[in-house]
Amino acid sequence: MPYIFYDTETSGLETAFDQILQFAAIKTDDDLNEVDNFNVRVRLLPHVVPSPQALVVNRVAPKLLTDQTLPTHYEAICEIRNKLLEWSPAIVIGYNSIGFDEELLRQAFFQTLHPAYLTNTEGNKRSDVLPMVYATCAYEPNTLSVPINEKGNPSFRLDQIAPANGYNFINAHEAMADVRATIYMARLIRERAPEVWTSAHHTNSRNDVKNYIANQSAFALTQYYFGKPYSWLVSECGQNPENKAEFAVFDLFYDPDDYLSLSSEELLKIFNAKEKPIRRFRGNAQPIIMPENKTPPEVKALSISPEERSRRAAVVQGASDFKMRVGQALALRYADREPSPYVEKRIYEGFPSSSDQILMREFHEVDWTKRRQLIDQIADPRLKELAWRLVYFERPELLPPDKVNDLRKWHAERVLIDGEAVPWTTLREATKELDTLMADKTQGEVKLFDGLKTYYSGFSEALQ
């Protein structure tokens, strides 16, 4: 199966409220040879205040944010979607992509009225090189050189680990450069840790994970916390009925007989306890799972005799009622969660209806005048709100005066809000962050900082 390696450079780290400023991708064959590539820079959305730190890291000059020769956010996302569809089906893969770039991409599709899940539909699967690096370090130690950061901890940042393993990194934090570095690390793992590479391909989708763990009475699970690996020998013991991507596993260091009779509410408490005989993981987030015979020697379950471990795994696998209650306990973790007041945070609150999906497709096929007319037919309030925004950003002259006034008010409040905790970067926060950075500036950053200061001042004046 071919691969689509990709990377994004962004306006900040809040995946629901920041945006893609650059998207780069390389399609390779299944032997990781380049077949095609794609690169697009994106104009800044009017209501997004970019983080100064993000612009400094990415070396993005303010004039590039509003360059009228660049496609608008809507135009660029349409280009990205078309290219990914052209290259599909494939394994869509990046570096820390599932935890970050993937969420940004889903938000970009969602906020432009496209289906959000392109990377795991249309025959596609998704993967991530960072968990492969983690797995290599945990299961094939000394295979990769891991640099130590200024705090004395291992650093798995791409711009540090790739050069530590022989990559000549030019223009780190430029999207296409990061894509090429990601491909380099993938090749390295495939060559030096082939078992890790193969095992990672058992976790490229939720169904792949489900099939793999269903056929293993026991397997090793590794999770990283603050750059350090923690591993367990486990047996699958449940799946969230309301979120099929969430699985539970039983740590075979413990005797399942002590837990089989617990209710769902009692099992829920175990997930929040310090000592965890039952653990959970996301099956759609490239979990690090390996065969039982690869279990790291420090794992506590290995202190139990092989015969007893086999018995415990068999007990768990045969306890269907227990597995059902564990799944119910997983679902209970989210039972009291309040819906977000922000449409961006409601991306996972269900799929659009079939009629709304038809309208979403039609929205991109007709001219802007007809798009404006389609909005009234959309039933999903999330999509309706986002559709009004799209017309406001792209063709505000088509909107009635009262709708323009409402959206201008929303726009100004989004940028200028002060004194209230909000999950996006406001102009006040960006200005404060810039002042902090300027106090520490080096000579090479003076021009960029001065440009940012002028840019933020203009941002405010345009909304007055």
pLDDT computed for residue 228 by the predictor: 87
pLDDT computed for residue 378 by the predictor: 97
pTM for this prediction: 0.94
Residues of the chain above pLDDT 90, percent: 82
Cβ contacts of residue 90 below 8 Å, gap of 6+? 1, 2, 3, 4, 27, 124, 125
Range in 30-39, 45-54, 166-175, 298-307 with the lowest mean pLDDT: 166-175
Tens-place pLDDT, residues 130-140 = 999 999 999 99
Given a cut of 60, whether residue 443 has pLDDT beyond it is: no
Tell me the pairing of strands 288-291 and 278-282.
Answer: unpaired
Question: Which CATH superfamily includes the segment(s) 3-195?
Answer: Ribonuclease H-like superfamily/Ribonuclease H (3.30.420.10)
Average pLDDT over residues 382-410: 96
Query: Can you name the CATH fold of 205-332?
Result: PX Domain (3.30.1520)
Range in 45-54, 165-174, 384-393 with the lowest mean pLDDT: 165-174
Tell me the pairing of strands 3-10 and 20-28.
Answer: antiparallel
**Please, are residues 276 and 270 in contact by the beta-carbon 8 Å criterion?**
yes
pLDDT computed for residue 451 by the predictor: 83
* Every domain of the chain and the residues it spans: 3-195, 205-332, 351-408
Tell me the pairing of strands 125-128 and 91-94.
Answer: parallel
Distance between CA 173 and CA 159 in Å, rounded?
A: 8
Asked if domains 3-195 and 205-332 share a fold, the reply is no
CB atoms within 10 A of CB 458: 12
Given a cut of 80, whether residue 359 has pLDDT beyond it is: yes
Given a cut of 80, whether residue 233 has pLDDT beyond it is: yes
pLDDT computed for residue 464 by the predictor: 64
Given a cut of 80, whether residue 462 has pLDDT beyond it is: no
pLDDT computed for residue 444 by the predictor: 58
User: Looking at the DSSP assignment, which residues form a beta bridge with residue 239?
Assistant: 247
Q: Dig out the tokens for 351 from the structure.
A: 């799929």
Range in 38-47, 117-126, 238-247, 265-274 with the lowest mean pLDDT: 265-274
Q: Dig out the tokens for 402 from the structure.
A: 């009262």
Given a cut of 70, whether residue 454 has pLDDT beyond it is: yes
Cβ contacts of residue 464 below 8 Å, gap of 6+? none
Cβ contacts of residue 295 below 8 Å, gap of 6+? 220, 231, 233, 301, 302
**Please, are residues 431 and 459 in contact by the beta-carbon 8 Å criterion?**
no
Distance between CA 421 and CA 443 in Å, rounded?
A: 34
Tens-place pLDDT, residues 73-93 = 999 999 999 999 999 999 999
pLDDT computed for residue 442 by the predictor: 64
